[in-house]
Structure formats: structure tokens, C-alpha cells
Structure 1
Amino acid sequence: MVKCRLQRWVFLLVFFFTVFINFSNGHEISLGTKLELIHRHGRNLHNEVQPTSQLERLTQLLQSDTVRINAISQKLSLNHRRRTSTNRRNVQEGTSIYNLACTNGTRIHNLNVSGEMSMNSGADFGTGQYFVHFEVGSPVQKLLLIADTGSDLTWMNCKYRCRGGDKCKRSLNKGGTFQADISSSFRTLPCSSRMCRVKLADLFSLARCPSAKDPCAYDYRYNDGSSALGLFAKEKVTFTLTDGRKARLHNVLVGCSESTNGPSLQIADGIMGLGYSNYSFALRAAKKFGGKFSYCLVDHLSSNNVSSYLIFGSHNDTSLKLNKIRYTELVLGVLPTFYALNIRGISIGGTMLDIPHEVWDVNGLGGTILDSGTSLTSLVPPAYEPVMAALKKSLSNFSNLNLDIGQLQYCFNSTGFDESLVPRLIFHFEDGARFRPAVKSYVIDVDVGVKCLGFVLANWPGPSVIGNIMQQNYFWEFDIKNSRLGFGSSTCI
């Protein structure tokens, strides 16, 4: 009888540790998670009014892009390019969190699972275009965050020290706002700490500190005028692994935003910071899952029920189907928080365009970044002009409609159009890798019988941006540990 009871207890313990895997600092593992990505116009998110036509849809994206591109240019202006290779090492060393352990401290090995977060895209003006479901706190509260590769801080709409009694508890099930008082794992950072005064200064921590134990506050500002005012805290994040099990990541830096303002912050419950910086969620989660994260974006005109995914860990453990993956260097820490690339040039129809080298120089006045939060690809004038000229030449038999659609400068009557008429555009990287986007990613549908060349002007000096429409139907793996970018064509489903 005693033996039977002992066996039952052993079974329960094994079951418990199988279902819930808890993370602690210092252990790298092969586990991963996959989250669904929701496109802004893919579903009716938070009762957002959806565009009634493709033209209206594109107009909204252009408005968002205009602010986004200006924000990137401001952020990367010459007086802000202060990060060096030393900063890069500090970022990597400061977030060395490769260990996984059970609650009893036992190491777990050889768990060949990846994790995914479904990802859908959102109505931002300067933050990001895709939404991701986020499970945080104890007990778990579910929120919808904008996944932004250009942001540092992960924050959510939040109520702290709620004094509504049962009203606070009832609001837990309503969603949209994180109830900090209900979470037993929520821990604020003291304003007197060095972390608040020094380390979080780049995340807009405030100098005010009424008493040593008061929480560290922030006033996070975006270049479109939006802002989030709140408190820094450590919290627990829960993942669903690809084999169905649950995993928890402890002591994740989050922002509890009690007040927000601005158009970019009205639709989601907050921002998931996926930029390259010490305290971004991307580095914290990716390094728990083998030092990498990835996403694959379905065609932006796909039907509403088609999803893409944000993956932390190996894509090999997912159902994702893709062609041969190519790799190129991922330039980290030079253009602050952004993921930069070493591009050698652009060819169209097999001919390299005459574009000055300084346009692509990430250590000089130019450079190129890969950004999930910008829809259209922006090129600085010395690159934009030859690209547009070469593509217009192939479309000379189609009527130029001279439409006024934001920054799109060339739209045409697409009656009789065939993609084979357009010479293929290729991005060439310094190390020999080549990215060959589909024609539909740069000759884009605007309305019935109308197509436009999907490039907009970026500010010079400044970086060019490869936007998410150019990235569609490709898998992109950000291998932070090895400073490389993997990419391969895919249906993303």
C-alpha cells in the first residue's frame, strides 16, 4: 500500500514537471515557443473599424509608415549613433540567461520542442504592425501586444494598487488591462536602486524618488508624440510550447503603464519590445530558447483566417514549411535597437544599379534595417531614384495614373499586367547572400485595376528600411547568439 502511494506521488510529480516548466537565470535550452501574429487588417481587433477597400487600407498603412520612417530617422540621427562594439558586448553579456530548471532546481535536457506565438498586425502609428498574444502574471492574464522590432520596453496597460475590492477582481476577466495587485509574482523596482537611476535611463526612467522604496517610474516617449507613463516591475511570462506544455519565464522586466496617450497606443493592450537592447523581451526570451527568434509573414492580402507566427527557439520543431535557408550577417549594436544588414547593392534584371557605397554603410551615414513595424520599403534618394527608374522602364506600356496616394509616386492601370514583364529585383549582401522578393512585394495591389511601385522615400542621411510587405512569404530568423540572419521563402502556414 505504501509502495502504491509512493508510485502515485512520483507519477504526479513527473506529470507536474512535464506540464509546467519553470525558467531560472543561467541555463540555455532547446525549448521554444510559437505565438500567432495577427495582422492589423486581418481581424477586428478591439473593435477597430476595418477599411472598406484596398485603397483605404493602403492609405492607413502609408500614414503609419510616414510617422514610423520619420521616427526611425530621428532615432538614428548622427548625435544618437553612440553604440560601439563594446556596447554590443555589454548587451550580450548583460542578458546571458541560458539556463532552464524545474522548481526544485533540476536541470532539464534534450527537450526538442519549440514555442510559437501567433502574431497578427495592428493599427499603430510609429510602433509596430503585428499583434501577439501575451500571457503574464500569476494567475495568468491574457493581453494583446504590438510586436515591435524597434522598441526596447515591453509594457502593458496596467492598474497598480487598485482599491476597488471585488471590482478589481471582476475586471481580471475583462482583458485589456493588467491587474497588478491580483498577480502574486508582480514586483516593482525601487526608485533608489542603481538599476532605476542608471541602467534604465535609456528607457526613460524618471529621477523622482519620494522615498527609497517607491517604485521606479518611467515616461516612455515615442517620436509620433505618443507616450506611456507607468512603473517598472519584474513579472512572470507564460508560454505554450509546441508540444502543448506550459513554460514560465521568471523576472521579466515589464512596464506597468497606468496612463497612455497618442494614436499608436489606442488599439493594443501594450507593446512587446523586440529590439536589440539590454532589456528587450526579444533578447530575454530568445536566449532562453537557444539565442534566436523568428517570424514568417503571410501575404498581407491573405484571408482573415490565415495566421503567421513569432517563434522563440528552433523552427525545426514547428509545422512551418520553407525552402532552403540562406544566411547573412546580422549587424547588432551599431544602429541602436534595430537589426541592421550589410548590403552591397541592388540589381534589377541582372544589372547592378549605380548606388553609392555610403548608402549601405551602417558605420557611416546610411545602412539598412529589417523592420517588422514598417509596411512599405523605404530607400534613401541615391537608391530610390535608380530603383524607380529601372522599374518604371519595364512598365512604360501601362498608363501612369498620377494618383495622389501618400508617398507612392508611381501608380498605373494594371489591365493586362503580368509579373513576367517586370525584371526581378535582388538585394545583394556583402557576404554573397541574396534576397529575391516576389514581384508582388514591390509591385503592389492598390485597388481594382491599379498597382503601384511599393517604395517610398527615406530621409538622407539615414537608413533604408526593408518593410514587412517586402518580407512577406519569407521566413526570417534573428540568430542573436551568432549574429546572423537566416531567411528562406515560405507560405508561412
Structure 2
Amino acid sequence: MVTYRRQKSFSLFIIFLFTVIINSAKLLESRHGSTKLKLIHRHDFVRDLPVTQLDRLRQLLHSDSIRLRSISHKIRLNHPIRRQVQEKPVYYPACTNSSSRAKNDYNVAAELPIHSGAEYGTGQYFVHFRVGSPAQTLALIADTGSDLTWMKCKYRCHGGRGKCRRNSNKKRVFRADRSLSFRTVPCSSTVCKVDLANLFSLARCPSPKYPCAYDYRYSDGSSALGLFANETVTFSLTNGRKTRLHNVLVGCSESTRGQSFQAADGVIGLGYSNHSFALRAAEKFGDKFSYCLVDHLSPKNISSYLIFGSHKDEPSIPLNRIQYTELVLGVIAPFYAVNVKGISIGGIMLEIPAEIWNVNGVGGVIVDSGSSLTFLAQPAYQPVMAALKLSLINFRNLNLDLGPIEYCFNSRGFDESLVPRLVIHFTDGARFEPPVKSYVIDAAPGVKCLGFGPASWPGASVIGNIMQQNHIWEFDLGNSRLGFGTSSCN
């Protein structure tokens, strides 16, 4: 059981491995009247920052490597049961019901500003999440590889009379006793016993109405224990109004242990699964969500957006340059996979075996906002690195100890025009051509590195968020397609 929980919770583990503290976020009013919830990185108030930029990079790469191993392990385990035809997840009663489902708002969107955190050594982002009745605001981590939305929480106070002692360390927690809409999931229910089994629900049930509990265990020894409930989440819309999602499945974590959870309030599950918040919100706003990441070295005051609904009103997004490719849903759940045909460098297609890209085999490619580096399975990694190194032969290899990053060089005299352009080709003809700065990345003053890491084979390749920067990425769940195009993101 412990092994099962570890493999299932890999995305949360990596996020919280990165995350140690969060700044407060302000509620901003956009030019379209939408409410923007500001995402701030964990290092804003951290005293124990890595000493140098290289130290920060080492910390980031270490976390990326652990996440990758978990992804690859999951793929090998799921290979025998992968399905050729995908189905849209079912919205179980724990998430919604016909009497409480809010009316769809396909003509409006919700926007959440997002900030770069690479200057702090992390690619993770935080959103202020309004949950409960009346709404309480918590800073949760947004992750496209997570199933469940959960937060640090107080369920019952001493004596069950609603009187809680003040939190002496001033940490934010969700006060379930103050919410009129908080409803626990009974441990005797089918939802608890069956539907939530893959979210680590526990078998214990002292009485039929006792709350359904969960117990997360992580590879680094961290843990989170709590109970499942249904809650109300509040949105502000681009038309100036507010709307609510009722009966959203959340986790109320009453106990957390380990460095992974020291200052995070919780996580928003944006992955593709039955209980994902992304699917619930996207269902209400046109079955799609998108994000646009600014340059990973941008200062904190430059923001981009996580959008539920259409991004057509954003002037920074050039809709005429949006390309679409198939979004493969449910095969490498909860991740979002794509069908890649190959990679070319300098206009020449590299000799990479087709099975590397086969999402229905033991390979495939994931678009992952939770990974910073781009990882390629070994049979793809070797030819890509060989082709790029040829253009850098006149620059001194620094032989730095940076874990998965193999090649760093003294960048004095470097010019991006020296590097041939890399293109990822999709099977349906779409082409993703990132800027050179997205794969020849800055590691420290005077130091650049080839921003690829090797992934074990068999295993998945991962397009990380540095490679995704300065592009809009639209996850159109209703049409099973991924849209992308260059954008300033601001």
C-alpha cells in the first residue's frame, strides 16, 4: 500500500519538495473586469535561499529528476492497461450533482496572474484560492500533474464547540468550522470506498457517517493526513460578476509532516482526472483552460495568466498564430500527453526510433508545467545533444556538477545565431519551434547550459516549462486538442 501511494503521489511530492513558503497575493482587477489572483513563488520570504544561482539550479534539477523517475515508473506500471480510445472522466457525486451544478458560463473567463519563479530556483506557481462559505482565501500550488485539491485545515476545534485556539505560528489554515458549505464525505459511502480509492482513501470507518480519511506518504518521508469533503469555490468573472462552483471535492489536511509542506497552504489539482479542479472549472468555462509563461528569468512584477475559459480577449495572444495538435487524455493520467513525430535541428530530422514517441507503448511525450527542464528518453537525448554540441565546439566545457544537465560552457562571446533551431514535429503536422533561450539556458553569470536532461528508457519524455516559455498553451479538453503559439504573455 505504501508503494502504491508513493507512485500515485509523485506530482504532489515534487511540488512540495520545491515549495517552502509563499507570499501573500493581492486581488487585482484586470482591464476586462476579471479578477486576477496573484501567484507568488515560495522564495519571496525564504531566509535559507541557495547561496548562488548555481546552487538554486542544482536544487531545481534535483527535484526535477525525482519527478521524472516517478513519471517513468508510472508509465511502466500502466503500460499493460493503456487504452487506445480515451473517455472523458465521469464527474462523480463527490464532485457535483444535478441540483447544485452551476450554470455554465461559456462567454466569460476567469484569469489568474502567474509569475516567473526561476530567479528563486523553482518553476512552481501559487494561486489564491477562495473556498468555503463565506469564502476563505488560501495560497495553493497550481500543478497540471495533480489529481486532488487539498489544503491545510482545521476540521473540528477543541470539544467540538467551534472554539479554536489562536494559531501561534500564524500559519494559514482553512477553518472548516467557519464554512456553512463544508460537507464531509461519509466513510461508508461508495464514493469513499471505490471512487476515492486511487486518491489514497483509508478503509477505516468507525461509524457510517464518519468522514472518509486519506493518508499520503511521500518518498522523502513527508506525509499528509486528512479527510475528504465537498466545498464551494468562488470565482470572479471577466464580466464583473461572481460565480460559485458547488460540491467541489477537496481534501482537508489536518496533519502534515516534513519539509515539503512547511509553508504551502495546499495544492490545486489541474491534472486530467475525475476529481481534478481543472476539469470542474473548465467544464463551467467552455471545457478549456490555458496558461502563458513569461520568460523564466523575468522579475516578479511581470505576470502572465492561467485562464479558465477562452483567452480570445487577451491582446497579447496572437490567435492567428495558434497551432493545434491532438491532446492525448487519460493514457498517462493525470498528465497531458501529445503525439510527437520527431525532432529536427537545423532543418535536419534526427534519427530517433519511432517507439520513443509512442504514447500507447512505453514512451510518449508529456507537456508538464511542474517540470522545469525538458527531459528526453535516452535514444532521443543522445542525438539531440550531439547535434547541439557541434555548434558550441568553440566554447569551453565547464564540467559542472549539475546532475542531469550534462553540458555547460563559458558563454563569453556566445550568440544565439550560432545555434541551429530545434523543432518538435507533431504527427498531425503542427510544429513547435521554441526560441534558442529555451534550450540554451542561463545557469549563472557567464555560464550557459544545454537545457536537456536524459530520461530512462523505457519512459516518457517531458516538455518542461522553460521550453514552454513565451508561448500560450491552451488545453482544450472538450475537443481533445492542445493549442500553442508564441506570445509576449503580458
| Partners of 1:107 and 1:200 in 2: CA distance | 26
Alignment equivalent of 2:234, drawn from 226, 233, 238 = 238
SS of the residue 1:176 aligns to: coil
> Equivalent residue for 1:206?
202
> Equivalent residue for 2:452?
455
| Partners of 1:66 and 1:95 in 2: CA distance | 37
SS of the residue 1:236 aligns to: strand
| Partners of 2:357 and 2:143 in 1: CA distance | 23
| Preserved contact between residue 231 and residue 255 of structure 1 (Cα < 8 Å) | yes
Matched, 1:55 2:54: yes
Matched, 1:190 2:183: no
Q: Tell me, which stretches of 5 or more residues in structure 1 are unaligned?
A: 1-30
Give per-residue Cα distances to partners, 1:119-156, cap 9 Å, x unaligned. Answer: 34679xxx972211111111111111111111111100
Question: Deviation at 1:80?
Answer: 6.2
> Equivalent residue for 2:223?
227
Alignment equivalent of 2:384, drawn from 384, 387, 390 = 387
Gap change, CA 1:96 and 1:313, over 3 Å in 2: farther
> Equivalent residue for 2:69?
70
Q: Which amino acid aligns with 1:130?
A: Y
| Preserved contact between residue 35 and residue 309 of structure 1 (Cα < 8 Å) | no
Alignment equivalent of 1:475, drawn from 463, 472, 485 = 472
Q: Which amino acid aligns with 1:132?
A: V
Question: Deviation at 1:448?
Answer: 1.1
| Partners of 2:326 and 2:75 in 1: CA distance | 20
> Equivalent residue for 1:116?
111
> Equivalent residue for 1:11?
none
| Preserved contact between residue 38 and residue 307 of structure 1 (Cα < 8 Å) | no
Alignment equivalent of 2:421, drawn from 405, 408, 424 = 424
Gap change, CA 1:344 and 1:273, over 3 Å in 2: same
TM-score between both structures, scaled by the size of structure 1: 0.85
Gap change, CA 1:186 and 1:106, over 3 Å in 2: closer
Matched, 1:255 2:251: yes
Matched, 1:91 2:82: no
| Preserved contact between residue 168 and residue 179 of structure 1 (Cα < 8 Å) | no
Q: Which amino acid aligns with 2:143?
A: D
> Equivalent residue for 1:442?
439
Matched, 1:131 2:126: yes
| Partners of 1:247 and 1:49 in 2: CA distance | 40
Matched, 1:305 2:295: no
SS of the residue 1:118 aligns to: strand
> Equivalent residue for 2:176?
180
| Partners of 2:267 and 2:231 in 1: CA distance | 15
Question: Which of the two has higher C-alpha Rg?
Answer: 1
SS of the residue 2:366 aligns to: strand
Question: Deviation at 1:84?
Answer: 2.4
SS of the residue 1:286 aligns to: helix
Gap change, CA 1:334 and 1:225, over 3 Å in 2: farther
| Preserved contact between residue 323 and residue 484 of structure 2 (Cα < 8 Å) | yes
| Partners of 1:235 and 1:307 in 2: CA distance | 29
Q: Which amino acid aligns with 1:145?
A: L
| Preserved contact between residue 82 and residue 360 of structure 2 (Cα < 8 Å) | no
SS of the residue 1:409 aligns to: coil
Give per-residue Cα distances to partners, 1:145-204, cap 9 Å, x unaligned. Answer: 111111111100111101287863866995621111111110000000000000110101
Gap change, CA 1:34 and 1:82, over 3 Å in 2: farther
Question: Deviation at 1:48?
Answer: 5.6
| Partners of 1:213 and 1:33 in 2: CA distance | 38
Gap change, CA 1:237 and 1:33, over 3 Å in 2: same
Q: Which amino acid aligns with 1:343?
A: V
Give per-residue Cα distances to partners, 1:344-366, cap 9 Å, x unaligned. Answer: 00000000000000000001110
Q: Which amino acid aligns with 2:350?
A: L
Give per-residue Cα distances to partners, 1:301-333, cap 9 Å, x unaligned. Answer: 101211222110001134543461110000001
Q: Which amino acid aligns with 2:89?
A: V
SS of the residue 1:89 aligns to: coil
Identity, in percent, stands at 67
Gap change, CA 1:93 and 1:192, over 3 Å in 2: closer
Gap change, CA 1:32 and 1:355, over 3 Å in 2: farther
Q: Which amino acid aligns with 1:148?
A: D
SS of the residue 1:158 aligns to: strand
| Preserved contact between residue 477 and residue 485 of structure 1 (Cα < 8 Å) | yes
Q: Which amino acid aligns with 1:425?
A: L
Q: Tell me, which stretches of 5 or more residues in structure 2 are unaligned?
A: 1-32
> Equivalent residue for 1:26?
none
| Partners of 2:485 and 2:96 in 1: CA distance | 27
Aligned length in residues: 453
Question: Deviation at 1:59?
Answer: 1.6
> Equivalent residue for 2:374?
377
SS of the residue 1:147 aligns to: strand
Gap change, CA 1:341 and 1:224, over 3 Å in 2: farther
Question: Deviation at 1:74?
Answer: 2.0
| Partners of 1:327 and 1:98 in 2: CA distance | 31
Q: What do you get for the CA RMSD once the two structures are aligned?
A: 2.9
| Preserved contact between residue 419 and residue 436 of structure 2 (Cα < 8 Å) | yes
Q: Which amino acid aligns with 2:298?
A: S
